[in-house]
Amino acid sequence: MALEDWYQNKLPGDWHTHNQLCHHAVGTIEDYVKSAIERNLNTIGVSDHFPFEFLKNIDRIPIQDYAITLNEVDTYLATTENLRKKYMDKIKIRIGFEIDFFKNQEYSLNQHLNKVKNKLDYILGSIHVLNFKNGKGAWGFDDSRFRKDYKHYGADRVFINYYKTIQKMLSSTDFDFDIVSHFDLPKKFNDFPLDEENVNNEAIKALEIIKKKGFVMEINTGGLRKKCKEQYPSEKIIREMYDMDIPVLLGSDAHDPRDIAWQFKTTIEMLKEIGYNQLVHFNKRSKFYMEI
Ligand SMILES: [Zn+2]
Ligand SMILES: [Zn+2]
C-alpha cells in the first residue's frame, strides 16, 4: 500500500497528548501510543509540558505538578524515540512539547530548549498562566485551585489579558513554536465575557498575527470534556479562521490514554462542513498537508 493510502485509511493524528511525566496525567507514553493504535490513528504527537523550574515570578504556581522536570527531559525524549522505532509499522510517532509562553523569559527558556530542539518534530505554544498588573502574582487561570482568582478578576479581564498575552506570544521573535493550542481556553469552566465585542476584537487581532506569521491552529477537543462542553476554539472562531485560510490540526489534550482522539469523528465532520478539507502534519518542524 502506498504511504498516502496508508494515511488515508486511518484517522488523522492526535497532536496534543500528555503522560505521567508531567505529574498531572495518568499512564506511560506507551499507554498513549497503544491507545492511539487501538483507535486506528495514523499519527500520535507526544507533547508533554516543557519544564517550568527556570521561570521567574511564578511563586504561586505549584510547578511540581505542572510539567516535566528538567532532569526528566532526556528520559522523555529517549523513551519516545524508542517507541517511535518499536511501533514504526503501526503508527507514526512525532515528538514535541507543549511550551508555556512567559513574556521576557524567552532567554532562559531557550537556554534549555536549544539543547533538545533538534530532536523535536513540533512545538505547541500555550498560555495557562496570567499575571495582572497590581494583582496577587502569576496564577493558573485554567487550574481549578485558582477559581477564586478567576472570580476576583472576572471573565472580561481574564479574556482580554489572555488574548493580549497570546498576541505577545505570537509576536515574540524569541519564542519558537509552530502551533497555537486551545485558543479560547479561558472559557474552560464555562465563564464568558460580558463585553463580547471587545474580547472578539482582541481574538481577531491574534488571528491576524497567526495568519501573517504562518502559524497553525490546534482544534482541541479537550474542551468537550470540560464544563464549557465545546472544543477550543469555538465554531464561530473556526469559521473566522477558515475565511482567513488559517491551517489546522487536531489535538485531544489527553491526560488519560482513554482521551486519545476524543470526539475526532464529529469534529472532523464539523471542520468539513465549515469548508476545511486538509489537516496539517508535522515532521522535523516542517508542515505537510493531509486530505480529510
Ligand atoms: Zn496538562
Ligand atoms: Zn495546555
In whole angstroms, give the CA distance from residue 253 to residue 230: 13
Cell 507543549 sits on residue: 98
292 CB-contact burial (10 Å; exposed 0-12 / middle 13-18 / buried 19+): middle
Distance 20 CA to ligand 1 centre (A): 10
Instruction: Output the pLDDT for position 5.
Output: 78
Distance 179 CA to ligand 2 centre (A): 12
Flag whether pLDDT at 1 surpasses 90: no
Instruction: Output the pLDDT for position 28.
Output: 98
pTM of the model: 0.97
- pLDDT 10s digits, 229-247: 999 999 999 999 999 999 9
Distance 153 CA to ligand 2 centre (A): 21
- Write the CB contacts of 279 (distance below 8 Å, at least 6 apart in sequence): 12, 13, 248, 249, 250, 289, 290, 292
Around ion ligand 2, residues with a beta carbon closer than 5 Å are 126
Distance 6 CA to ligand 1 centre (A): 31
Among the bound ligands, the one closest to the CA of 100: 2
Around ion ligand 1, residues with a beta carbon closer than 5 Å are 18
Among the bound ligands, the one closest to the CA of 23: 1
Among the bound ligands, the one closest to the CA of 185: 2
Distance 18 CA to ligand 1 centre (A): 6
Distance 288 CA to ligand 2 centre (A): 23
- Average pLDDT on 43-60 reads 98
Distance 223 CA to ligand 1 centre (A): 13
Flag whether pLDDT at 6 surpasses 80: no
Instruction: Output the pLDDT for position 9.
Output: 87
Distance 65 CA to ligand 1 centre (A): 9
